[in-house]
Amino acid sequence: METDSSPDDPYRTAAEFYDLFHGETYRRRAVGHLAASAAGSALGILEVGAGTGIVTEVLARSSTVPVHAVEPSRAMRTVLMARLSALEWLRGKVRVYPVAVQRARLDAPVDLATCVNVVATVAPEERPGLWSALAARLVPGGMLIVDAPGRLAPLPGHRDWRLPAVRVGDDDYTAAVRVRPAGADGRLRWTYQYAVRHGERTVREESASFYAWPLDPSRTAAELARAGFARAPGTAPVAAYAGGLAPFEHLAYYLRRRD
Ligand SMILES: C[S@@+](CC[C@H](N)C(=O)[O-])C[C@H]1O[C@@H](n2cnc3c(N)ncnc32)[C@H](O)[C@@H]1O
């Protein structure tokens, strides 16, 4: 039985605001960077960290195979389920797994796994388990797409930045982002500071924090090799994290070895 695995959900606050600030950008990037690979899947797609379903919808729309959406956060999954509820065609193509992928029981073959905008939030000691879980669920020769995480390093001088404000009714929703070093293991603490303003008046403030670990490209490549992956011919390795790289925009392609 699969039961919810996120009693202490790091996305409990962010989920409400996630699509508002990221929905359109991430949808566009997923169309540009993932749709063609999804169209090439002949068996099934495993989406690790489906979140609110922004990418799930693109994968499902671009492919003819089932999409297995794995999402352990109840808050994120609530938005995902609302998206599935609203779209009958999507509901027919997506199966939802309410657990981390290491615990997901897949009984269908998948020849494409996407792990995009996820891996930086996985602690380094948990990453080898993540890669082996993916290798175990992909058919031999199946492809894993993983991205280099976005702007993971604190900006020079530790400046914060703002996402474009969004209007809901006659309220303005804003989000400020702060990244700070947060531990000897190189982890960073990302904080999103949300505010809702009605004219000059602030009617609500919320804050959500996450840890993220910059990927070391050679260490990641070694982990992937140990888990049974080989870089797809003619493609680039996982990139070093770099200021300004946005999620989805630097993808690395690995194949599950056949042996
Ligand atoms: C930053 S969100 C990105 C969501 C979605 N990929 C997107 O780009 O909109 C990262 C998501 O990965 C999920 N996640 C983290 N670790 C995971 C794991 N081991 N297995 C499956 N999902 C995981 C989190 O719950 C979260 O919803």
3-state DSSP assignment of residue 191:
strand
Report DSSP state, residue 64: S
**Mean pLDDT for the stretch of residues 232-258:** 79
Q: Is residue 85 within 8 Å of 78, Cβ to Cβ? A: no
Residue 244 clears pLDDT 70, i.e. is over it? no
**Residue 240 domain-assigned (yes or no):** yes
Q: Is residue 150 within 8 Å of 159, Cβ to Cβ? A: no
- Ligand 1 centroid to Cα of residue 196, in Å, is 25
Domain count, the chain: 2
- Ligand 1 centroid to Cα of residue 78, in Å, is 13
Q: Is residue 241 within 8 Å of 218, Cβ to Cβ? A: no
CB burial of 191-219 (b: ≥16 within 10 Å; e: otherwise) equals: ebbbbbeeeeeeeeeeebebbbbbbebee
pLDDT over 70 percentage in the chain: 90
In DSSP terms, 252 is beta-bridged to: 146
Q: Is residue 259 within 8 Å of 142, Cβ to Cβ? A: no
Q: Would strands 201-212 and 188-198 be described as parallel, antiparallel, or unpaired?
A: antiparallel
- Write the pLDDT tens digit of every residue in 143-165: 999 987 655 556 566 678 899 99
- Ligand 1 centroid to Cα of residue 202, in Å, is 30
**Residue 5 domain-assigned (yes or no):** no
- Atom nearest to 100 CA in ligand 1: 20
In DSSP terms, 198 is beta-bridged to: 201
What local confidence, expressed as pLDDT, does residue 158 receive? Answer: 67
* Average pLDDT taken over every residue of the chain: 91
Same domain, 241 and 142: yes
What local confidence, expressed as pLDDT, does residue 3 receive? Answer: 63
**Residue 21 domain-assigned (yes or no):** yes
**Mean pLDDT for the stretch of residues 222-245:** 82
Token readout for 48 is: 């690790």
- Write the pLDDT tens digit of every residue in 35-73: 999 999 999 999 999 999 999 999 999 999 999 999 999
Token readout for 14 is: 């962010």
- Ligand 1 centroid to Cα of residue 201, in Å, is 34
- Atom nearest to 70 CA in ligand 1: 21
Domain assignment of residue 138, given as a range: 14-151+215-256
What local confidence, expressed as pLDDT, does residue 213 receive? Answer: 87
Same domain, 116 and 144: yes
The closest alpha carbon to 2, from 70, 60, 67, belongs to: 70
Same domain, 169 and 220: no
- Ligand 1 centroid to Cα of residue 101, in Å, is 10
Q: Which of 27, 118, 151 to mutate to test the pocket of ligand 1 (most atoms within 8 A of CB)?
A: 118
